[in-house]
Chain A
Amino acid sequence: MKTTDIAVIGAGPAGLSCAVEAARAGAQVTVLDENLKPGGQLFKQIHKFFGSREHKAGIRGFRIGQQLLEETEKLGVEVLLDAAVYGIYEDRLIAYITDGKDHTIKAKKIVMATGASENALAFPGCTLPGVMGAGAAQTMINVNRVLPGQKIIMVGSGNVGLIVSYQLMQAGADVLALIEAAPKIGGYGVHAAKIRRAGVQIYTSTTIKEVLGEEKVEGVIAVNLDEKWQQVTGTEKHFNADTVCLAVGLSPLTELAWMAGCEFTFIPSLGGHVPIHDRNMETTLKGIYIAGDITGVEEASSAMEEGRLAGVACAESLEYYDENKALELKNQIWDRLDALRTGPFGEGRFTAKLKQLDARRQLA
């Protein structure tokens, strides 16, 4: 049977950052990912990242992905692709399938960095072909270079909705409107201003009443919402759209953590049920760590920091770092994480993450 020091599940920003950090300390690292290509969702992010220099601000997401892959290669990290992990058994035995065949790998430490998936939204016509996740549309235009449609209605004004709207325009589509159920825009002002300057109207307190069409999207009827979030009859607007993109949040992909037996806590602002972890990113199961969106949905910058944190913590517990060195590195990472979780947009996440850490303390 295959063995390794640290098995990282998921080759996205969190998983790769974790692998790089642990390998730099001298650990043997194996990354498993179910996809045929590594990078997770980084390669569809063609915009420049926010934050400070340490957060790779000003660098486009796909370049960060390339850098991470180069580093993993340089450090000799083993990356197993087409490796769908379906179970974690006792003593950190991982079972996965590659090319239809069963395999196992035994690891001294496991880091789950499985990411998140997009939420759906229910309305008449929501299952019609042409209604899709905003991230799905982003994958199609930026990775596969195919437009999912020409005339787009974007639902949700968080950063995903705002950024993907702009990227759809860069790819040559018309964004007819962006609608947001809340009374104000959810994402950063700079992103909203950018798409407004490009001529996209943002309708707040507005939702989808119905998507028209038999075999595919042939139109969208939007409607205003009152202060009690009820539809206001008579305020319907018709859009001649062929595509509806839903940017209404993500949910952590926690199946493996549930199966492994990690304890969870419920924090709606992080995406619902999230595994409890400590300041080393270790779950309630010894030797099993988490990093990135599985711990609660944030964005790639914090996912990378959490990955590094888990990487250092794993390396420390395997004695590749002594306590002092590890503490120094972990404190630096925590400073950067805290910096990402400040300001009007970050503060809510800061409080939510504190709650998650508190849940761990209460168990102990």
Chain B
Amino acid sequence: MRVLNHPILGDETRQFNATIIVDGKQIQAIEGEPIAAALLSAGIKKFRETQKNHKPRGIFCAIGRCTDCVMTVDGVPNVRTCITPVRDGMIISTQKGLGKWGIER
């Protein structure tokens, strides 16, 4: 959920100006915001599955240190979504294990 009004930061002035495709589904986003922020605001919390036990993982540190939030972005696996900015038309997929290069269709 977006924080539209805020007692200190004021009202949100940015508008949706990008569409990203996450596991085949279109999601509205704001160009330049971290991918992870766009996903959380769309209610997506699971970003990947672990290699051995297929356990779900999501965001943990949000500053690019822990690598828990990595996903496959435009065919590149292990992209840290918490520090990678959204660009219009990005194709993002929930990463399975160590991920694969290339866009899965």
Contacts and interface: CB of A to CB of B under 8 A. Distances in A.
Contacts of B40: 140, 146-148
A147 B60 contact: no
A140 B56 contact: no
Nearest to A243: B45
A95 interface: no
A129 B58 contact: yes
B68 to A, nearest CB: 8
A36 B8 CA distance: 24
B9 to A, nearest CB: 7
A253 B46 CA distance: 27
A146 B37 contact: yes
B37 A129 contact: no
B57 A117 contact: no
Interface of B: 1-4, 6-9, 12, 33-34, 36-38, 40-41, 45-47, 55-66, 82-83, 85
The 4 residue pairs across chains A and B that have the minimum distance between CB atoms: A129-B58, A136-B62, A144-B37, A129-B45
The main secondary structure of chain B at its interface with chain A is: loop
Contacts of A133: 60-62
Nearest to A133: B61
Contact of B6 (A120, A129, A144, A170): A170
B66 to A, nearest CB: 7
Interface in A115-145: 117-118, 120, 127-133, 135-137, 139-142, 144-145
Question: Chain A interface residue count: which class?
Answer: 35 or more
Contact of B62 (A132, A171, A214): A132
Given A36-B83, A120-B60, A172-B3, 4 more contacts: A132-B60, A141-B3, A146-B1, A216-B46
A286 to B, nearest CB: 29
23 contacts: A34-B64, A60-B8, A127-B55, A129-B56, A129-B57, A129-B59, A130-B58, A136-B60, A136-B61, A137-B62, A139-B62, A141-B3, A145-B2, A145-B9, A146-B1, A146-B37, A146-B41, A147-B2, A150-B1, A170-B7, A172-B3, A215-B45, A216-B46
